[in-house]
Amino acid sequence: MKKWLLILLVLVSLAGVVWVFAYQYTLWEQESIIDTQQMMSWTTSKNVSDESINPIVDSELSKDEIVRKKIESIKNRLALKWLIMQWDSYYRNQQLPLALKKYLEFYRQNPEDDLIIQKLWDTYFELKKFGSALNYYKLLSQLGEENRKQLALSYLASEDISNPVVIQNLNTLLEEKNYPEQERYYFNQSLSCITDFHNCKIQFQTYFEQADENWEVREISYAPLWDLKLALENYKNFQVDEVYLKNAYMISSWYSNRLYKLASKLGDELLLEKKDYKPILKIVAQSQYELGEYSTARTKLWDYYIIDALDPAVSYILGVVNEKLKDYVLANIYFQKSIELWYTPSIDPRRHIIHNFYLLQNDKSLLLAFEKMVSEEESLQKDDLTLAIYYHIIFDSFELALEWSKKWQELFPEDWDFYAYQWWILREQWRLKDALSALQLWGKVEEKNPFVFINIAYTVKELWNIPGAKIYFQKVIDIAPDSDYANQATAELTALEK
């Protein structure tokens, strides 16, 4: 039993994405991921006790000891930075709660590290926890242009922007943080559109046409402000006297620059006058989705869907919104619709469909969804194939699992994990000689891998070739003498000698 437990543990590690699959959802379900104020309270003191992070240099230490401590400190910091790079893969793959957990662990030891503070902002912002994002961005010691924009966006996304006090507080924040003139103007003037959109447009137009102190046309250097200038110019060049179109251009500019609350509020007001205005319906729905307002986003998306049921992006977003609202059956209907409408990349709705069948515990549909993905998807990734093979082994669909392990060999020839799956499948079918052949092929490409050879040893033993098993157990000890595999092999050799 012990030997198969060892083997199973390694196989589960090979299929680690399965654990991530389940764990990701579990973390999403937690109502309090980690409270940002609680985390900050852990680090109110600037003196961190861990000497590996902030070494205390004793005045009585020798120069060599001081140098050694400094070298160790640098090494530890480099190691931690390398860990951050690893954790970034969670962020890139949208495993945001996992990324957040790791970033917070690092922040606890390094509360003044601007890099980790910014990563915490990014993660909290993507998780729609805008207040927490704002708290971290206020801690940055230096703000570049992008940081300043992110700080303002966090504030606007976390507050009621129709409240005059909120607008005044934003202006105070921009002044305290020394925002350049064009950045202050952009945010303050944009918010003025809430109370008087008509006058706001006139003020923007006057600002863009106004001469600078050298009596030359004002040069716009701030990208979001330039984008708004282009929006007004596009309307003018279109030569259509249509107030809705001008408003739509400006609302679109705010949306593209992530002022989601402003785009949503002004878009809603425009829809009161022109309720079937498709571009604005889409922008408002997407803005509300980005703000985490999933119920209102779904309503707007349904309004759009009634008008145009052939937009693949809207079908996909409807799938995502219904998934967020835990209506997994309806979500999959929309995800499937988006695939039929040629949504790209099609691998995304397929992954959602599989995930939702997993949550619904609909095993039959889960396996069918995997089959469609593997047979139809052109941009299949290794993790997708890993999950497909793993679940087909679990549900005793060995022939397909074996076929896909061979497909893995074709698609990812530099990755030899497929040998592990082939061995696992063949062993489950009690095709021990074929399983041994798969392991031996694996051993030829990974000659120093103790996992391969301990399983060759066990398989040879099961075939009643005791002398051969002894040779392979000894090989495990030779190639990895200090490993758990070696301990296991030693125990097996002792047992065989009795």
Mean pLDDT for all residues in the chain: 77
In this prediction, residue 288 carries a pLDDT of 95
Judged against a pLDDT cut of 90, whether residue 127 lies above it is answered with no
Lowest mean pLDDT among 31-35, 229-233, 298-302, 412-416: 31-35
Mean predicted confidence (pLDDT) in 123-131: 86
Cα separation, 202 vs 185, in Å, equals 14
Mind spelling out the 3-state secondary structure of the chain?
A: CHHHHHHHHHHHHHCHHHHHHHHHHHHHHCCCCCCHHHHHHCCCCCCCCCCCCCCCCCCCCCHHHHHHHHHHHHHHHHHHHHHHHHHHHHHHCCCHHHHHHHHHHHHHHCCCCHHHHHHHHHHHHHCCCHHHHHHHHCCCCCCCHHHHHHHHHHHHHHCCCCCHHHHHHHHHHHHHCCCCHHHHHHHHHHHHCCCCHHHHHHHHHHHHHCECCCCCECCCCCHHHHHHHHHHHHHHHHCCCCHHHHHHHHHHHHHHCCCHHHHHHHHHHHHHHCCCCHHHHHHHHHHHHHCCCHHHHHHHHHHHHHHCCCCHHHHHHHHHHHHHCCCHHHHHHHHHHHHHCCCCCCHHHHHHHHHHHHHHCCHHHHHHHHHHHHHHCCCCCHHHHHHHHHHHHHCCCHHHHHHHHHHHHHHCCCCCHHHHHHHHHHHHCCCHHHHHHHHHHHHHHCCCCHHHHHHHHHHHHHCCCHHHHHHHHHHHHHHCCCCHHHHHHHHHHHHHHC
In this prediction, residue 133 carries a pLDDT of 83
Domain ranges of the chain: 32-141, 380-498
> Which range has the top average pLDDT, 42-51, 414-423, 437-446, 449-458?
449-458
In this prediction, residue 31 carries a pLDDT of 33
Q: Which residue has the higher pLDDT, 25 or 71?
A: 71
Q: What is the pTM of this model?
A: 0.71
In this prediction, residue 267 carries a pLDDT of 95
Judged against a pLDDT cut of 70, whether residue 46 lies above it is answered with no
Q: Which residue has the higher pLDDT, 422 or 63?
A: 422
Lowest mean pLDDT among 113-117, 172-176, 242-246: 242-246
In this prediction, residue 97 carries a pLDDT of 80
Mean predicted confidence (pLDDT) in 146-166: 89
Q: Which residue has the higher pLDDT, 229 or 121?
A: 229
Fold of the domain spanning 32-141: 1.25.40
Q: Which percentage of the chain shows pLDDT scores above 90?
A: 34
Fold matches, 32-141 and 380-498:
yes
Q: What is the pLDDT of residues 469-479, one digit of tens each?
A: 788 788 778 87
In this prediction, residue 14 carries a pLDDT of 41
**How is domain 380-498 classified at the architecture level of CATH?**
Alpha Horseshoe (1.25)
pLDDT band at residue 373 using 50, 70 and 90 as cut-offs: very high
Mean predicted confidence (pLDDT) in 212-216: 63
- Paired with 217 in beta bridges are 211
Mean predicted confidence (pLDDT) in 437-455: 70
Q: What is the pLDDT of residues 398-420, one digit of tens each?
A: 788 778 877 877 777 776 566 67
Mean predicted confidence (pLDDT) in 15-36: 37
Cα separation, 294 vs 323, in Å, equals 10
Nearest residue to 252 (alpha-carbon basis) of 232, 237, 273, 238: 232
Lowest mean pLDDT among 61-70, 104-113, 367-376: 61-70
pLDDT band at residue 130 using 50, 70 and 90 as cut-offs: confident
Q: Which residue has the higher pLDDT, 456 or 373?
A: 373
Q: What is the pLDDT of residues 257-290, one digit of tens each?
A: 999 999 999 999 999 988 889 999 999 999 999 9
